[in-house]
Structure 1
Amino acid sequence: MKKLLMCLLLLPICFFAMVKADELNLLSGKFNLADLQRDLLPTQQWVPFPEYQDRAAWSELTKTVAGTLLNKGNSYLDYQWQVVKASDYLAYERTGSRIIMEKPMNENAIALSNLFLAELAEGKGRYLDQIINGIWYFTEMSTWSLSAHLPAFQSSKRTLPQEGTHVVDLVAGDIGSMLSWIYYYLHPEMDKINPEISKRLKKSIQDRVITPYLNRNDMWWQALAGKPNQMVNNWNPWCNFNVLTCLLLIEDDVEKQRAGIYKTMQSVDKFINYVKADGACEEGPSYWGHAAGKLYDYLKILADATGNKINIFNQPVVRNMGEYIAQSYIGGDNWVVNFADASAKGGGDPYLIYRYGKAVNSTEMIDFARYLQNKRKPSFKSDRDIFRSLEDLLSLNEIKNGSGKLPTNSYKWYPQTEFLYMKDEDLFFAAKGGYNNESHNHNDIGTFILYRAEKPIFIDAGVGTYNKKTFSSERYDIWSMQSGYHNLPQINGHDQVFGASYKAQDVSFDPKKKLFKLNIAGAYSSQAAINSWNRSYQLKKGVLEIIDKFDLKTPTVSNVIHFLLAGKPVISGGKIALNGGKYHLEYNVAEFDAEVEAIPQSDIRLSQVWGDAIFRLSLKAKKIKEKGTYIFTVK
């Protein structure tokens, strides 16, 4: 019977494991199920944190933050657990709002995590009743998944939880992972009160996370359905990490546990295979913590659980993925390179960056983590990601042992992802090639951003608060996704088009000349009638020169060159004053008419970054030409 169970569990895995010869498969290609069976340790041997009963160890581990942990826990002793109503789920269908459903659920999760950490720090059972209330609340819920995510995984394609269906999305995984740690640490204490609590908790985690993961290969983020050229983004390592945590801490059936763990290894391989060898995160720095950062979490807990036998931190692509976050940092008010949906402000979690840097032996990451930490007030945050909170406790003192600094290289070229960062005097320039179906894609092939003295001049707006349109067929109705609201041309009346076939061509970078060139014609539809549109960027002693050389078939509409600006420009002849006149954009006034449009930022996700408004400068060609060259200079 056990052999039959193993075959049934592995049959879909083996079937969907057929891969192209050039795929890395760093986990399942290097390690097999027999390795996992041999090396997997009992839970008590691999968990790197003290046992609940070891009060001396917990006192030592939390000594610098115990007051914070207890104060937060105390603040939730009278917390009233919030109900997520049916109408909250329906709101996503009716109005497109996600927040109505997500806010109360997330607040409940944060309350439970703070109560749990306080109990670990104090160890007197004072928070136990409220923890049990939280457990009871979550096990009473119909689903741990978000209303915005349910339609993709349910046959009903609706936002209300479907009877008899459980799916693993980002939040269901997070909740399952957090509750698994609570079960691991507190189930003996809860059993003293009533064994039904732990029994119910364990079954809920199995039913809502482990069983659907083992039984399904059609959850898109698993990337196990054999679809060619499938996008694999941050959902993959994030969800697989959570499933792995539940399997390690909850599952007692050894064969089912190991088969499930090996399945996560095959799935995570799909993410590593998808990421380019240069390690750049096409989703941008805001998503690094959920993409490369979650890969680190996954690989770390897998290495811990196997006595460091299954460990791929020495692989160059894993290191490259980590160092991307340091290279993408501009400075100032935590400005970062923010292509796609990423925010222009961030920098990353210094504790996570530090741990990742240690794992891949990157001095660059360790120095950057310390630089970030030294810029900030000492703090300890706790949310539903319990593993990171526990890991943070191990990093609190280590990260202080040394000074930090930013990377000193003058450029960083990502040849596969086609991202380029250049520094020259006090300029920080970034541009991209790529294609118009990247994860969290904007139609933005050939765009650039420019900062001077760590302040934004030419920008990428990013994305507003997620709603029903954000990840739907209406995504490119949103202004910030369109090429017309990036630093790009509208050619013959046409903006860029979404799709994997719309991509940059003839991309090259000359580090000696600090020159980046590409043909962006392939990003536009055939209706734009473009033979070629070659754009180049060159940095010369603190000056940026932009040259557009074009060849059109049958132009009928004037070209418009758009620039998105952080501050209001002032037009004066062939010079446009930027950032209060500190810098100027020079152009041929005989060739263009210039207009400025204010774009109010009423969405809080954007206004927190840019303030009340950003500005679009549009240079409209006075003549319709088949061929020509436009030159723009920023001084």
Structure 2
Amino acid sequence: MSFPTAPFSGPLAAHLGGIAVRSRDDALPVAPASDRSVWDRRSGTADRVGIEAIIARAEAERPTPWPHPRASDAARVHRDGDRTAWEDAAFERQRRLSRATIAAAATLDDAWIDEVVDGVVLLCEQSSWCWPAHDDTLRAHGAVLATVTDPYVDLGAGEAVAQLAWIDHLLGAQLDARAPGVRARIRHEARVRVFEPFQRRRDWHWIGLDGDVHNWNPWIHGNVIVAALGLLDAADETVERDRVIALAIEGLDRYVAVLPADGAIDEGYAYWWNGAARALEVLDVLAHATDGAADATAVTSLRETVAFPHRSHLGGDWFVNHADGQAKPPVDQPWHALHRAARRHRDVAAEAFAASHRRPGAPAATEREGLGRLLRALTDPAWVAASPALPPLPRDVWLASTEVFLARGSAGSSDGLTLVAKGGHNGEHHNHNDVGSFLVAVDGVPVIVDAGRPTYTAATFGPDRYDIWTMQSAWHNVPVVRGRTQPAGRDAAARGATAEIGDDASTFTADLAAAYPDAGLDHWRRRARLDRVAGRVEIDDAWRFADDAPTGDDTLLHLLVAGEVRLETGGARVIPEGGARPVRLRWPEDVAATAEVRHLDDPMLTEVWGGRLTRLALPLASRTQLQVTVELDTPIEDSP
């Protein structure tokens, strides 16, 4: 069978149109459990360390009740904004099902097959696969609970249908033998909840028909493609299978069409894994399903985005965080997916970066990232056998599409100071009002920081988003001008952002005036410079008001600092988190800075920064320029 070229003609159309697809039995790139050369618990080629770790967790939880996402918790999204109570239970239910699936594949034990059947039926009986925070049922039906006759296809629905497709592919023969009819139930639910609404409705915001395409697009389309390859298998479904895949590729093409040539993600590193990485993963699945004929490695933006993770790396577990990302995201990312994409695109540095996270004798992956990713990792011999490598840590990075700049002392080392600065605009995906903000890390650990974001609630993506303090420019490393902070919106943007890369120094410059549209600025020029010779970061601000009025008391510069802060005349001494060396911040002695401690209690913030962050306020009255410098407190040559 084959699928036609979709009506939207983007970068993928020339590579994926009119190509024959394998039959359902071998369309997905994982061996079924009946292939004991792969899945046998004691002698198979699948990662035995990972399998044993998963079975141990599965055995420990088997006597306990299955997690149950409750209707009252789903309704809380519309009552008090809490979305985690329902999501935590739903996510853990699916992780338990993934663990049981691996145990069943590795042992073929009837008891584990029964556990899988129980989990599959629970998932099929769940009123909705859509996460309540995403459902449009309140708008469309006035309901706070899912309307089962009008299912909404979102990230949760995509994850659920793909998980069932992987289970059906892996354990189909065992399910037929142990629980005849359960595979038909899977197909019914997939059709009613995903395939039919996906084809019927074309107003899904994540398709990107309005040109605003974000990480939902490849995440959902990728899962729909997996489900179509694995579940639309009857003779009378051939045309539908082709149609669903074609629609999904058309949607995916819209994402690739707006992915910039430098591969940068405006949502930042944390969202790369569930955006660009999802696109790379499903393209790899399609390459398998078409015997290599579907090959999009020539697409520049896809090739470049493979490098985005290591271009965002500060050192150790720390990363450049803009938008809603964490500076220290979870360590257990699907590194195998990056490793596989790097091999496919022949990016040696990206492959080394992925391999730098491979620990000999440790599991190849965990179930946290979903069953499909887990199966790919456990059965990828190159990843299972990968040897640890050193992270690339490029000396300089300039991503012109998002106007993000990074400079460190030397390539391959996080020692010393690293400077990050950004221009951009305040209409980015998962936006924070942070035009012109900068970060400084010492020995790879952020010291002048972006807080990131707290736990998601209903307010996070609603009209009250910018009431959340972490989203406001007043809590980023930018000025408050005549009492005004930056507004949201694309028009609040940097102007003339440029990067000058040199051996002795690398410099970012931009005019921030347009990010303060009501402040009466003629210009606010910011220069952020890493002087490698002096071992110093320099932040130079120079400004003028259009009316030539002097700077008043209502103009100041904020610096958000992590670690132990001691104010001094003309500066501050900071001992960063994580054992990095102390630094000194310096500014003119007549600037009477103040410090405000922000105590943290949200786990999304405390697990990164501990219990506090400190905001320094530098008053700028009567000034037209200011320089702030950052230097190591102990010279490199004198440090132990």
TM-score, normalized by length of structure 2? 0.90
Does 2:319 align with 1:319? no
Does 2:244 align with 1:293? no
- The Cα shift of 1:51 comes to 2.8
Does 2:548 align with 1:552? no
Match of 1:575 in 2: 571
**Whole-angstrom CA distance in 1 between matches of 2:445 and 2:473:** 23
Match of 2:248 in 1: 264
What is the one-letter code of the residue matched to 1:547? D
C-alpha spacing 1:375/1:588, structure 2 compared with 1 (3 Å) = farther
State how 1:211-610 maps to structure 2 within 5 Å: 211-224=196-209, 227=210, 230-252=211-233, 253-332=237-316, 334-346=317-329, 348-374=333-359, 377-378=362-363, 380-383=365-368, 385-395=370-380, 398=383, 400-424=385-409, 426-512=416-502, 513-525=505-517, 527-540=518-531, 541=533, 542-554=535-547, 557-579=553-575, 582-590=582-590, 592-610=591-609
Q: Is the 8 A contact 2:76 2:83 kept in 1?
A: yes
- The Cα shift of 1:193 comes to 4.0
- The Cα shift of 1:435 comes to 0.9
Q: Is the 8 A contact 2:377 2:383 kept in 1?
A: no
**Whole-angstrom CA distance in 1 between matches of 2:361 and 2:567:** 39
**Whole-angstrom CA distance in 2 between matches of 1:221 and 1:142:** 22
Q: Is the 8 A contact 1:168 1:208 kept in 2?
A: yes
Q: Is the 8 A contact 2:311 2:393 kept in 1?
A: no
**Whole-angstrom CA distance in 2 between matches of 1:499 and 1:45:** 47
C-alpha spacing 1:328/1:604, structure 2 compared with 1 (3 Å) = same
- The Cα shift of 1:585 comes to 1.6
Cα deviation digits, residues 488-532 of structure 1 (max 9, x gap)? 00011111110011111011111124111000111122x211111
What is the one-letter code of the residue matched to 1:476? Y
- The Cα shift of 1:152 comes to 7.5
- The Cα shift of 1:214 comes to 1.1
**Whole-angstrom CA distance in 2 between matches of 1:340 and 1:167:** 26
**Whole-angstrom CA distance in 1 between matches of 2:238 and 2:165:** 17
- The Cα shift of 1:231 comes to 2.5
What is the one-letter code of the residue matched to 1:343? Q
- The Cα shift of 1:399 comes to 5.2
- The Cα shift of 1:57 comes to 2.8
What is the one-letter code of the residue matched to 2:589? V
Cα deviation digits, residues 413-468 of structure 1 (max 9, x gap)? 11121111101262111111111111110000110111112222100100010011
Q: Is the 8 A contact 1:73 1:127 kept in 2?
A: no
Per mean C-alpha deviation after superposition, the further-off stretch among 79-88 and 281-290 is 79-88
Structure 2: stretches of 5+ with no match in the other structure:
411-415, 632-640
Match of 1:22 in 2: none
Match of 1:74 in 2: 59
Structure 1: stretches of 5+ with no match in the other structure:
1-5, 20-24
Task: Give the secondary-structure state (helix, strand or coil) at the position aligned to 1:195.
Answer: coil
- The Cα shift of 1:557 comes to 4.9
**Whole-angstrom CA distance in 2 between matches of 1:399 and 1:251:** 31
- The Cα shift of 1:379 comes to 5.3
- The Cα shift of 1:365 comes to 1.0
**Whole-angstrom CA distance in 2 between matches of 1:324 and 1:270:** 20
What is the one-letter code of the residue matched to 2:322? F
The percentage of counterpart residues that share the same residue type is: 26
C-alpha spacing 1:459/1:326, structure 2 compared with 1 (3 Å) = same
- The Cα shift of 1:367 comes to 0.9
Task: Give the secondary-structure state (helix, strand or coil) at the position aligned to 2:593.
Answer: strand
C-alpha spacing 1:469/1:396, structure 2 compared with 1 (3 Å) = farther
Cα deviation digits, residues 49-103 of structure 1 (max 9, x gap)? 2233222331213334342233233234334123333211111111110012112
- The Cα shift of 1:392 comes to 0.5
Per mean C-alpha deviation after superposition, the further-off stretch among 150-159 and 73-82 is 150-159
Match of 1:90 in 2: 75
**Whole-angstrom CA distance in 2 between matches of 1:147 and 1:173:** 14
Q: Is the 8 A contact 1:547 1:630 kept in 2?
A: yes
Task: Give the secondary-structure state (helix, strand or coil) at the position aligned to 2:136.
Answer: helix
Q: Is the 8 A contact 1:173 1:242 kept in 2?
A: yes
Q: Is the 8 A contact 2:16 2:295 kept in 1?
A: no
TM-score, normalized by length of structure 1? 0.91
What is the one-letter code of the residue matched to 2:168? Y
C-alpha spacing 1:384/1:408, structure 2 compared with 1 (3 Å) = closer
